[in-house]
């Protein structure tokens, strides 16, 4: 898309890109581009109109709140609700492998994360991981 914009916004590159087009084809492109511009202007005008209406409503609400002696903080006090569900912790995965290390301690491993050193050493000695399946 950026190549298209570079060509469209650079006079010489645009001229080179449309060199093969006839006058009639260029005029059709001009009409289509004029329509796109007009549509964009309408969209921008509509967005500005909506924003102005929103700002007007905000001003009215602020004035009404000031007249009633209500502060914005009072409106939000105790009313904050979250729509998302609370995140639940997942249950830990069960151990898949077990080995007894040099100290006589039983080390387990789920197959994820860091491998226990005792298991690394056993694998380095040529043993298979399947030998330690639980």
pLDDT in tens, 6-28: 888 888 999 999 999 999 999 99
Cα-Cα-Cα-Cα torsion 72, 73, 76, 80, nearest 10 degrees, comes to 140
pTM, 2 dp:
0.46
> 52 is written with which tokens?
């102005």
Q: Which secondary structure element, helix H or strand E, spans residue 97, and what is its range?
A: strand 97-100
Phi, psi of 99, deg, nearest 5: -150, 150
Query: Could you confirm whether domain 2-74 is CATH 1.10.287.1050?
Result: yes
Q: Which secondary structure element, helix H or strand E, spans residue 61, and what is its range?
A: helix 23-68
pLDDT beneath 70: ranges in the chain: 1, 78-83
Phi, psi of 115, deg, nearest 5: -80, 135
pLDDT at 27: 95
């Amino acid at each position: 898309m950026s190549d298209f914009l570079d060509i469209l916004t650079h006079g010489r590159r645009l001229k080179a890109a449309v060199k093969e087009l006839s006058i009639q084809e260029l005029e059709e492109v001009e009409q289509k581009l004029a329509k796109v511009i007009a549509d964009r202007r309408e969209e921008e005008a509509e967005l500005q109109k909506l924003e102005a209406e929103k700002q007007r409503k905000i001003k009215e609400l602020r004035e009404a709140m000031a007249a009633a002696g209500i502060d914005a903080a009072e409106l939000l006090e105790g009313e904050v609700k979250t729509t998302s569900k609370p995140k639940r912790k997942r249950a830990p995965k069960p151990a898949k492998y077990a080995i007894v290390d040099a100290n006589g301690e039983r080390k387990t491993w789920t197959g994820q994360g860091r491998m226990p050193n005792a298991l690394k050493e056993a694998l380095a000695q040529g043993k298979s991981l399947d030998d330690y399946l639980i």
